[in-house]
Amino acid sequence: MALGLPHLGFGVGLRAEHISEILSSEPEVDWFEILSENVMDSQGRALALAEAVAERYPVVLHGVSMNIGSSDPLDWAYLDRLMALAERLKPAWISDHLCFTGLGGHNSHDLLPMVYSEASLEHVVGRIQAVQRHLDRPLVLENPSSYIRFKGSTIDEWSFMTRMAKESGCGLLVDVNNVAVSAFNHGWDPELYLESLPAEQIV
């Protein structure tokens, strides 16, 4: 169990079109992943259905808007809403992506790649630690898929993620498909990537 977080088994992403069947037949699924932004601002049906699923199954929250890699200040209002949602759904963990999603107050709604450098590592580690203090739990971050690399990058992505996890205490959500996509695009060795990550921090 990475970081004391539970090993839940095999999970499925929760989709609205499946909820009625889930609640009526309770299929043999170990856990469900709920997209944080789909329910965090809802006080109606979406939140009620998520709570009904969470009463029957373990759930995790997976977000796309934390903007952890941006130079913009952390969005404390967003984090407050995320924390309130976590208090209601009691997720096993909260995850997001190692990327930036906006700049200058503008949300691109895309998972944009970061520069991997010593300066960006220090920046991200500090932000992760601040988020973990605010949420009072470990944050789990997913490796992105990327289609470009920045000339300013001086650290391999897998080395960046390893150091980030060890220095911040966060967990890693390893998306193997994203590893394959990025390895294909950039000529990386996907096996080296996976073997280099700290297994004890992979959730």
Check: CB of residue 69 under 8 Å from CB of residue 131.
no
> What local confidence, expressed as pLDDT, does residue 104 receive?
80
In this structure, are residues 25 and 56 in contact, taking their beta carbons and an 8 Å threshold? no
State how far the Cα of 143 lies from the Cα of 151, in Å rounded to an integer: 19
14 with 53: CB under 8 angstroms? yes
Confidence of residue 1 (pLDDT cuts 50, 70, 90): low
> Residue 174, by phi and psi: left (phi above 0), alpha (psi -120 to 50) or beta?
beta
Instruction: Give the mean pLDDT of the chain.
Output: 94
Global confidence as pTM = 0.94
Please count the other Cβ atoms lying within 10 Å of the Cβ belonging to residue 119.
10
Q: Inter-axis angle of helices 118-135 and 76-89, to 10 degrees?
A: 50
HSE value, Cβ hemisphere, 13 Å, CA-based, for 14: 29
Question: Is 153:167 a contact under the CB 8 Å cutoff?
Answer: no
Tens of pLDDT, residue by residue over 62-74, are 999 999 999 999 9
